[in-house]
Structure 1
Amino acid sequence: MRFSFLCKIAIVIALVVLFDRLFPDSFSGARIGGFAGVWLMGLVLGRGDVRRNKRACIALAVAALFTGSLFDDPGPLAWALFWCALSVAVLLPKVSGFDDAWHWGARLMIHAVGGIGKPFADLRRFGRSRQRKRANAGSVMAMLGLPLVGGALFVTLFAAANPLIAQTLAAIRLPSVWQILLWTFVAVCVWPSLRPQAAVMRLAGRLPDPEPVLPGTSLPSVLIALALFNAIFAVQNGLDIAFLWNGGALPAGMTQTEYVHRGAYPLIGTALIAGVMALAMLRPGSASAHHPWARRLVTLWVVQNLVLVASSILRTIDYVEASMLTAWRIAALAWMALVALGLVLICWRILRGRSARWLINWNAFVAAVVLTVCSFVDLGALAASWNVRQQAPAAIDLCYIGQVGDGALLPLIALEHRRMDAVTRDRVRYARDLIFTDLSARQDSWTEWTPRGARRLARATAMLGPNPARPLAVEQPAWRNCDGSIEHPAPPAQP
């Protein structure tokens, strides 16, 4: 036991030292994936129960998958998924198995919050265990007192007499307060993965089953509510079918753009609330759960909610076609698709009598798959490519393209080869040159280098050729805006 504890301390110290060497200036580049991989190996070395647990090994393999994403092109989503997979591997040996995503979500939250105090609690416990040996510690200090004091005295005298020794001692730099705080933070983050908090399992086990409960869900109340809700939703869906799907004539004073762009997210919120209410009204064991008309009405209501989600997706697509595609709008469309699938699963659960755990596990699994795909795919690059292919060169928002970063480099080079006027081409070249220069500088530094960036730079260099065209030079006091347009100062006012 003592050897295992000391081994874990050694692993934490090694990871802190590695973090200090890998990230002297910023937390970026492929080195993030390297640190995640070493952390994963440290967990395998320090936790024998994790190595012997088959389910934990599966979680370790998933964590290793996200390590690859962090190495290729690190991002917050990949790091969050890596930590979740790592933490699941840490906690799995402490439970009998994977029960449901509801309790595991609670375990991960408690593990993240409760793990902050775990290193300090272990230090305090270690200090108490050493109280019995204070007499031995005192004798050791008495034994080492003369050598330490005498050695310090002679080193000081020799430093005064020998400039080489004095220079060597002067070159020693103690760590700053910021470094000590950073090392402490890394140790606090790593230590709970080697010694998880025991309260995680106890507190998560006290959570009730995830069955939503609403007051007043008697059978008559449920039947009246479902009939009323279906009528209200039918009005909304009928309006969408008439004006959104079929392009009918709107009342005077309202434009199609106003109608389309107004309600995508409120409608998704409405569908989510409706799904929770449907689960509460037909929860297992209730009188309404087995009533045929209640089941028919709730099925009709879920179908109407699916039409509502489809209308939200169409609104978002129309909004994209009217303006442009962004990474957040891709994420919004993926979220809407998840909501639609969740509604289908709710309907299946009610009709087939599945448990709430079944429903939550399936929703969590599908969401995890979508997030995993997003951690490997550059959504900004996808949005930039779509905008370049679908929009006229003069209509493309180059300010947004510049915010995408190096993911927009290849689409900009492709855009540069299209037909356009000279002013627009110069603006495109300016945006492309900024991104290309920035990417080249980052790839030349080992702290910022990533495999994906290297692939993009190599392909961009091949597409541009040996002598790429440069944007027009702009002399002061003129300047360029974020879209590459040239701005001149206003002429002085005439007296």
Structure 2
Amino acid sequence: MTSTFTPTFCSRFGVAVLLAALADFFFYGQPAGITVLLFAIVIAGAVVAVHPAALNSTRPWLKPAVLFVALLPLAENVSPLSVAVALAALVVFALSLAGRLRHGVARIAGQIALFLLAAPLRLIGDFFRWRRTVRRLGGRRIRLTAVIVWVMPVTLGAVFLLLFGAANPVIDYWLSLIDLMKLLDLIQLARIVFWLFVLASVWALLRPRLPRFRPRLPRLTPPAAVAAPTAAKSATTIEDIVFGKAAILRALIVFNALFALQTALDAAYLWGGVALPDGLSYAAYAHRGAYPLIATALLAAGFVLAALRPGSETSGDPLIRRLVYAWVAQNIVLVISSILRLDLYIGVYALTYWRIAAFVWMGLVAAGLALIIARIALRKSNEWLFSANLLTLSATLYACSFINFAALIANFNVDHSLEMSGSGTPLDTEYLRSFGAVALPALDRYYMHQTGHLTTWVVDLQMADDYLAEQKQWRAWSFRGWRLVKVLDKRGPLVLPPAEQPLLPAIPSTPDR
């Protein structure tokens, strides 16, 4: 802790207060839109301002350029996913400028997690450090007595002022202009909490630090443990028998046979057209196995990682390696089968957010299994495997932040509904309306097909009007919202249905929305 901590603390705290004021102007009581991207850019500029020497490198543009690419999803649409991507990018950017970013994707992921865990208390901890530094250096600091000493003068001064107001009409007029209730209205608890949250969050980025853990001292081995080597040796022998090379070899043979049976059944029933047992539909067969098979693949991946640890006896056995390759390949086929099962089920029961998430999850599992084969073939470490999976996950989430899943679901369900295609389930209009105005273009096509003209309902009109009114505020602008506004502005004349006409059916889809 150096003497430069005090001016650094004061200057950075001033920057944090300015950023909190800007956040109040951007967000408090306002819709979230382009302002989130602007605020992230301003925070990045503030981080650069408090670490000016960090950009004195051969390629000073590289880090800001990478950060800008990570912030691009905020321009497309503000969602929990795009905000999470931007937050992780800002944390990495701040740590890199502070010279605290480690090498390796796995280590960086751990740093991000530690940073987010410690961020809420960073400002409080630094405040007490600042007070201790000021006390040690003999500087001026705010004492409790310095505050208490003002209680009596302020109280008596207020009493005298009230007495003067009663005696002097001019002072009484001035006092009447003060609306105490309005002043109290300005003090809003929610706003105070908002400011404190922003201050704590921004401060953590302006002064990025990670929690330090004290290394634990090695325990002294008790004499009893030294005196009983026979028991330890016996336990080790049992472990070698249960999880040794012979056991793993037999397990892989059994597992390959079981998985081959499951793959053969899927090939027969899902793709071969073999008739199912009585009372079992193809949709039920597909849905029943989609999620358990993914759990099976994950369990298999854990077994492979445990059985073929780098440097272990089993990892160097050629026969075990071939059996592992065959088993992991069968797991990949199993995941592909799960994806096809889910696709068959969606063809009958429509698309939902959870089913899209299942598609993404299954794809990640398949990629993870392929990376396991790569790790074994290339003789890489488990850390390499973890880093590769993190990169795959990060790239997937980044790409997903540009996809309008609500519009995708609405268009798919309308196109594959019973009313539009003659098969499938009736359209669940209430579920589509829960997406907001983004579902209106799909609903318009549905109404046009049903009635021959652009019939809509009062709830749809109100939803469109509210969305257009919100988009007129510059804070709410996003590229996705701008495109939707252009579509809504081009809508033709709307025809309201007769009052006595019943609502179109809104049959709910299956529960896993």
Q: Indicate the TM-score class for this superposition, using the shorter chain for normalisation.
A: 0.7 to 0.9
Correspondent of 1:197 among 184, 191, 209: 209
From 6, 12, 36, the equivalent of 2:10 is: 6
Task: Give the direction of change, closer, same or farther, for the CA distance of 1:165–1:191 in structure 2 (3 Å limit).
Answer: same
Cα distance in 2 between the residues matched to 1:220 and 1:55: 54
Does the alignment pair 1:407 with 2:438? yes
- State which drifts further: 88-97 or 272-281: 88-97
State whether residues 9 and 130 of structure 2, in contact with CA within 8 Å, keep that contact through their aligned partners in structure 1: no
Determine helix, strand or coil for the equivalent of 1:376. Answer: coil
Amino acid at match of 2:494: A
Distance 1:48 1:135, change over 3 A: closer
Distance 1:319 1:437 in 2: 36
TM-score normalized by structure 2?
0.80
| TM-aligned CA distance change 1:58 to 1:332, over 3 Å | farther
Number of the residue aligned with 1:179: 191
Whether 2:90 is the aligned partner of 1:86: answer yes
> Residue 245 in 1 paired to residue 271 in 2?
yes
Q: Deviations over 1:391-412 (max 9, x none)?
A: 3446322122212222222223
Report the Cα offset of residue 125 of structure 1.
Answer: 1.4
The residue that corresponds to 2:221 in the other structure is none
Question: Structure 1 pair 294/96, CA: closer, same or farther in 2 (3 Å)?
Answer: farther
**Secondary structure in structure 1 of the residue aligned to 2:288:** coil
What residue ranges of structure 2 are gaps of 5+ in the alignment?
Answer: 216-238, 421-425, 509-513
2:223 maps to none
Contact kept, 8 Å, 1:90 with 1:196, in 2: the verdict is: yes
Change (3 A) 1:136 1:195: closer
Q: 1:292 to 1:72 in 2, by over 3 A?
A: closer
Q: Which deviates more, 283-292 or 125-134?
A: 125-134
Contact 1:28 1:448 in 2 (8 A): yes
How far the C-alpha of 1:444 sits from its partner, in A, is 3.1
1:447: how far off? 4.8
Alpha-carbon distance, 1:161 to partner: 2.9
1:271, CA displacement in angstroms? 0.7
Q: Which residue in the other structure is 2:496 paired with?
A: 471
* Structure 1, 245-254 or 255-264: larger mean CA deviation: 245-254
Alpha carbons 1:237, 1:308 under 8 Å: kept: yes
Deviation at 1:294, TM superposition (A): 0.2
CA distance in 2 between partners of 1:23 and 1:4 (Å): 28
Q: 1:119-198 maps to which residues of 2 (within 5 A)? A: 119-131=123-135, 133=138, 161-162=170-171, 163-164=173-174, 166-168=176-178, 170=180, 172-173=183-184, 175-198=187-210
Change in 2 beyond 3 A, CA 1:59/1:227: farther
Q: Within 5 Å, which residues of 2 pair with 1:377-392?
A: 377-392=403-418
The answer as to whether partners of 1:66 and 1:79 remain within 8 angstroms in 2 is no
Query: Please, what is the CA RMSD of the aligned residues?
Result: 3.5
Give the superposition deviation at 1:165: 6.0
Percent of matched pairs sharing the same residue: 31
In 2, Cα distance between the equivalents of 1:356 and 1:88?
Answer: 23
Q: Counterparts of 1:114 and 1:231 in 2: how far apart (Å)?
A: 49
Relative contact order, higher structure (CA 8 A, sep 6+): 2
SS where residue 252 of structure 1 aligns?
A: coil
1:74 and 2:60 matched: no
Q: Distance in 2 between matches of 1:28 and 1:371?
A: 21
Hey, which bits of structure 1, 4+ residues long, moved more than 6 A?
Answer: 53-57, 134-138, 148-156
Q: Larger deviation: 215-224 or 389-398?
A: 389-398
Match of 2:301 among 271, 275, 281: 275
Q: Describe the shift of the 1:33–1:275 C-alpha distance in structure 2 as closer, same or farther (beyond 3 A).
A: same
**Which segments of 5 or more consecutive residues in structure 1 lack a partner in the other structure?**
204-213, 486-495
Give runs of aligned pairs for residues 365-380 of structure 1, distance below 5 A.
365-380=391-406
Aligned residue in 2 for 1:295: 321
Question: Structure 1 residue 54: deviation in Å?
Answer: 7.7
Partner of residue 480, structure 2:
452
